[in-house]
Chain A
Amino acid sequence: NAGVTQTPKFQVLKTGQSMTLQCAQDMNHNSMYWYRQDPGMGLRLIYYSASEGTTDKGEVPNGYNVSRLNKREFSLRLESAAPSQTSVYFCASSAHNLEQFFGPGTRLTVL
């Protein structure tokens, strides 16, 4: 099992460009999450999907959209990237109210 995979690993964008971060899990988990991690800020929840077909906003959703494509995949889209979105993005999944498994992260720089 690969666990949680994320693509790409690194990305550099110019202000105003758009991109989609991909996430997939092979553990048959119902819940999936997107976080951003900035120095000194810990992990902040952007969006989550408690089950297939549902998505909800987290703590910092502005400037992002998500799609729960199926049970395995949960993508995060930046429609018009801004320098404030420079961060490390982690996808995670979990079964019910249990431990979260994290992907390796995407390091995004917006110039």
Chain B
Amino acid sequence: GQQVMQIPQYQHVQEGEDFTTYCNSSTTLSNIQWYKQRPGGHPVFLIQLVKSGEVKKQKRLTFQFGEAKKNSSLHITATQTTDVGTYFCAASSGGSNYKLTFGKGTLLTVNP
């Protein structure tokens, strides 16, 4: 089945530093979604990318979808303690199959 590799598994930063997590697939993706899960909480949808080379921004968060639609990244500028949590990418192969394959996530901790 489809696999999505996500790195790094963990990232610890000082508040104010930047953070990036990467998601890679060996197959072309129909779209990719990003979720955030706070400690003890449930995953919450952040964004969906559909087009090749797409870049979307949400305040300090920048999301990119690769030109070949096989990789994606989430970049946070100037992290804050509120950014703590696990960030997951989730890929869809498209069609009538609405399944998502999740990456294993990147746990971000921020030292104030």
Number of A-B contacts (CB under 8 A): 55
A97 engages B98 (CB within 8 Å): yes
Most A-side CB within 10 Å, residue of B31, B44, B99 = B99
Residues of B within 8 A of A103 (CB): 42
Q: A40-B9, A41-B104, A48-B98 are in contact. Are A102 and B44 (CB under 8 A)?
A: yes
| Nearest neighbor of A50 in chain B, beta-carbon distance | B98
Query: Is A31 among interface residues, defined by CB-CB distance under 8 A?
Result: yes
Query: Is B85 among interface residues, defined by CB-CB distance under 8 A?
Result: no
Q: Which of B28-58 contact A (CB under 8 A)?
A: 30-31, 33, 41-45, 48
Residues of B within 8 A of A104 (CB): 41-42
Interface residues of A (CB under 8 A from B): 31, 33, 35, 40-45, 48, 50, 58-59, 90, 92, 94, 96-105
Instruction: Return 29 A-B CB contacts under 8 Å, by A number.
Output: A31-B98, A33-B99, A35-B102, A40-B9, A42-B102, A42-B103, A42-B104, A42-B105, A43-B43, A43-B102, A45-B99, A45-B100, A50-B98, A58-B99, A90-B43, A92-B43, A94-B98, A96-B98, A97-B30, A97-B31, A99-B33, A99-B45, A100-B33, A100-B43, A100-B45, A100-B90, A100-B100, A103-B42, A104-B41
